[in-house]
């Protein structure tokens, strides 16, 4: 019985599975090879510096290539006709399967025999034998390309280990990278914040990149210098920008403080004026009562005297309330004044006095004047107790005064720092600002504690404290920026960037001076007045004419920064090397030995 196509498909299933596996084996190797080659190119580009390639990209490329290849193999359609051709060829079935699959209708003489023959042949074949997993050409390519990729990635590090001069260079670069990272930590922290400055982000990125390339030994001296200078330039920009922002914040604080002060003064002035007016009125009334005459010199009648006395009492009560600001006093006084004012208003509107007698125009004028007096008293009282108290307390508080003083000083220092070019002085100013900020914070803490029950003052102090915190953060960033300008010299023992040390890269290195890098300039000469001075050491003991001339060394400004005990062994070692390598003339050998012996004994 001839098999139908579906039956053939069923019988071919194990072969199809095997072929798919082999396809995945082959296409995976092809994809992996492609991925590894791409990774190699990326690694090369990373080394040259054309591209920044994180380390995880390399295995990612390989794995991605592998997965793509395998994925392609798993999704590839394997037609029956192609499969049977493969089986025919691999198993040496002499095209039996193809022919059988094409002749499934069993209408021809040999169709049945052919199907039986093909089935038998297929039955005899073993998919695992026909389609074997072999380590073929593509698998070889894959292994080779991965090896190439690894070699390319680790080549700089291999060179750094193999070549002594490169090893030394890379060691220095790595040290510098660690120092830069340490110094720039505040900037790196700042850059992590979402609202971080673009320059800070760029610095963080460049510092990370510098570290990565140093770690992977992919930088030479020249590139390290260029990258460092780039970081430094950005750090300077960031410092300038932060300083501007600090000034703005500080100005706001200052303006707030000044405004508060002005408002306090103004209110105090108004209160004083109101009290002085009250006092004047009281004096006038007292004079009239004492003299028994009114302002025009007419004798006072008994009711008029009584009225004057009553006004005097009232003014006295208002004055008392102002001098002893007590909520209850002020309120009762205000109520009293208000009642009187309403009474006067009623009289003025009706045109009759309290007894119902019509008012003369003179009396009306007096009533208006009286109302005005009452209104002034009410206004004076309305400068509330809390306001008076708040202003009085704050204005008279030494802590507040100190805080304001610190703010003023801060502004001055920052302006001074902005003008200053000398990095050391800038560093000093930076430290001063730091101190000022700390002091200011202390004062504000003090204020906040002292007035913890006083809501307005506490809020004010907290507001200013928050601004100060912001200032501190900016200042820390600026500190890191300033520190960056100095760290290369320290880390590498190099001449630039404000250090006095002179290290291995002293010739032609302009770390910390990007504007001078690669411009072929000479290092600036020290313009220090020189004074001849005898160097310590014994005079030659050997007889005969001396063939040397002694030079007296110039003084080192500010004294030596390295103690003799540390410097001496290095120089002594060099001297010993020079002696052993016959670099010292025979006549001078003893002299050199004695010189160092004398130094050693002096050092002890």
Partner 1 sequence: MEDGKQVAEWFRQQFESLRTQVARVVVGQEEVVENVLVAVCAGGHALLEGVPGLGKTLLVRTLAQALNLQFSRVQFTPDLMPADITGTNILAETEGGGRAFAFRPGPIFANIVLADEINRATPKTQSALLEAMQEHAVTVGGKRYPLESPFWVLATQNPIEQEGTYPLPEAQLDRFFFKILVDYPTLDELREIVDRTTGATTPQPEVVADRETLLKLQHVVREVPIARPVQDFALRLVVGTHPNSPYAAPEVNRYVRYGSSPRGAQTLILASKVYGLLDGRYNVAREDVIRALKPALRHRVLLNFEAEADGITPDALLDKVLEHVQRSETEPLKV
Nearer to partner 1, 95 or 338 (CB): 95
User: Which distant-in-sequence residues (6+ apart) come within 8 Å of 545 by Cβ?
Assistant: none
Nearer to partner 1, 131 or 595 (CB): 131
The three-state secondary structure class of 180 is helix
- Min separation Cβ 38 and partner 1, Å: 22
Confirm or reject binding of residue 85 to partner 1 (CB under 8 A): yes
Nearer to partner 1, 83 or 440 (CB): 83
From the list 58, 66, 83, 235, which residue makes contact with partner 1 (rule: CB under 8 A)?
83
Q: Please give the span between the terminal C-alpha atoms of the chain, in angstroms, as a whole number.
A: 112
From the list 82, 144, 159, 556, which residue makes contact with partner 1 (rule: CB under 8 A)?
82
The three-state secondary structure class of 239 is helix
- Min separation Cβ 107 and partner 1, Å: 9
**CA 82, 84, 87, 89: dihedral to nearest 10 degrees?**
-70
Q: What does the block give as tokens for 294?
A: 């009114």
Q: What does the block give as tokens for 146?
A: 């991965």
User: Within 13-32, which residues bind partner 1 (CB under 8 A)?
Assistant: 19, 22-23, 26
Confirm or reject binding of residue 8 to partner 1 (CB under 8 A): no
Q: Which residue has the tokens 């108004």?
A: 270
Q: What does the block give as tokens for 327?
A: 């909520």
- Min separation Cβ 154 and partner 1, Å: 34
Is the dihedral angle over the CA atoms 346, 350, 356, 361 positive or is it negative? positive
Is the dihedral angle over the CA atoms 298, 301, 305, 308 positive or is it negative? negative
Of 514, 576, 557, 503, residue with least CA distance to 169: 503
Confirm or reject binding of residue 80 to partner 1 (CB under 8 A): no
Nearer to partner 1, 109 or 162 (CB): 109
Nearer to partner 1, 94 or 339 (CB): 94
Nearer to partner 1, 96 or 311 (CB): 96
| Interface pattern 92-131 for partner 1 (x via CB under 8 A) | --xxx-xxxxxx----xxxxxxx-xx-------------x
When computed from its CA atoms, the radius of gyration of the chain, rounded to whole angstroms, is: 48
**Rounded distance between C-alpha atoms, residue 189 and residue 211, angstroms:** 16
Interface size with partner 1, residues (CB under 8 A) = 31
- Min separation Cβ 185 and partner 1, Å: 56
Nearer to partner 1, 19 or 380 (CB): 19
User: Contact at 8 Å (CB) between 571 and 560?
Assistant: no
Nearer to partner 1, 98 or 172 (CB): 98
| Interface pattern 130-169 for partner 1 (x via CB under 8 A) | -x--------------------------------------
DSSP, res 389: H
User: Contact at 8 Å (CB) between 381 and 373?
Assistant: no
Tell me the sheet residues that pair with 293: 299
From the list 1, 6, 79, 357, which residue makes contact with partner 1 (rule: CB under 8 A)?
79
Q: What does the block give as tokens for 110?
A: 């040999």
- Min separation Cβ 72 and partner 1, Å: 12
- Min separation Cβ 92 and partner 1, Å: 10
Which positions lie near partner 1, rule CB under 8 A?
19, 22-23, 26, 78-79, 81-83, 85-86, 89, 94-96, 98-103, 108-114, 116-117, 131
């Amino acid at each position: 019985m001839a098999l139908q196509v579906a039956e053939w498909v069923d019988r071919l299933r194990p072969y199809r599975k095997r072929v798919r596996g082999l396809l995945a084996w082959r296409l995976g190797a092809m994809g992996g090879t492609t991925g590894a080659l791409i990774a190699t190119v990326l690694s090369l580009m990373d080394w040259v510096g054309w591209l920044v390639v994180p380390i995880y990209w390399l295995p990612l490329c390989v794995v991605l290539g592998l997965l793509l290849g395998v994925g392609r193999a798993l999704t590839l359609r394997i037609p029956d006709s192609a499969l049977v051709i493969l089986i025919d060829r691999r198993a040496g079935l002499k095209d039996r399967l193809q022919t059988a699959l094409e002749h499934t209708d069993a209408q021809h003489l040999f169709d049945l025999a052919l199907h039986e023959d093909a089935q038998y042949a297929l039955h005899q074949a073993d998919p695992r034998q026909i389609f074997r997993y072999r380590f073929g050409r593509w698998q070889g390519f894959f292994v080779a390309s991965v090896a190439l990729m690894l070699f390319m990635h680790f080549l700089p590090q291999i060179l750094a280990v193999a070549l002594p001069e490169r090893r030394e260079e890379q060691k220095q670069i790595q040290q510098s990278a660690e120092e830069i990272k340490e110094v720039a930590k505040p900037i790196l922290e700042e850059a992590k914040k979402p609202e971080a400055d673009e320059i800070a982000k760029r610095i963080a990125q460049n510092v990370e990149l510098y570290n990565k390339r140093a770690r992977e030994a992919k930088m030479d001296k020249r590139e390290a210098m260029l990258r460092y200078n780039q970081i430094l330039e950005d750090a300077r920009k960031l410092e300038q920008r932060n300083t501007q922002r600090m000034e703005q914040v500080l100005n706001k604080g200052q303006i707030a403080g000044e405004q508060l002060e002005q408002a306090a003064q103004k209110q105090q002035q108004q209160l004083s004026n109101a009290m002085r007016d009250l006092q004047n009125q009281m004096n006038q009334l007292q004079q009239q009562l004492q003299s028994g005459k009114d302002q025009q010199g007419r004798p006072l009648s008994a009711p008029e005297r009584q009225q004057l006395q009553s006004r005097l009492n009232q003014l006295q009560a208002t004055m008392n309330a102002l001098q002893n600001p007590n909520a209850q006093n002020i309120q009762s006084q205000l109520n009293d004044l208000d009642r009187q004012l309403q009474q006067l208003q009623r009289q003025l509107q009706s045109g009759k006095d309290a007894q119902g007698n019509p008012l003369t125009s003179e009396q009306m004028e007096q009533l208006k004047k009286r109302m005005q007096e009452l209104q002034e008293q009410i206004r004076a009282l309305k400068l509330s107790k809390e306001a008076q108290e708040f202003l009085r307390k704050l204005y008279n508080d030494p802590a507040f005064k100190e805080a304001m003083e610190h703010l003023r000083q801060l502004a001055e220092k920052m302006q001074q720092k902005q003008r200053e070019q000398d990095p050391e002085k800038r560093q000093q100013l930076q430290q001063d600002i730091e101190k000022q900020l700390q002091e200011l914070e202390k004062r504000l803490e003090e204020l906040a504690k002292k007035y913890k029950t006083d809501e307005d003052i506490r809020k004010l102090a907290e507001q200013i404290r928050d601004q100060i915190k912001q200032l501190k953060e900016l200042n820390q960033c600026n500190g890191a920026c300033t520190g960056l300008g100095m760290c290369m010299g320290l880390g590498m023992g190099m001449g630039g960037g404000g250090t006095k040390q002179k290290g291995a890269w002293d010739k032609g290195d302009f770390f910390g001076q990007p504007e001078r890098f690669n411009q072929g300039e000479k290092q600036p000469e020290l313009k220090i007045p020189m004074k001849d001075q005898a160097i310590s050491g014994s005079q030659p003991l050997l007889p005969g004419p001396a063939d040397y001339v002694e030079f007296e060394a110039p003084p080192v400004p500010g004294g030596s920064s390295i103690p003799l005990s540390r410097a001496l062994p290095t120089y002594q070692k060099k001297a010993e090397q020079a002696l052993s390598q016959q670099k010292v003339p025979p006549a001078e050998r003893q002299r050199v030995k004695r010189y160092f012996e004398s130094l050693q004994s002096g050092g002890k």
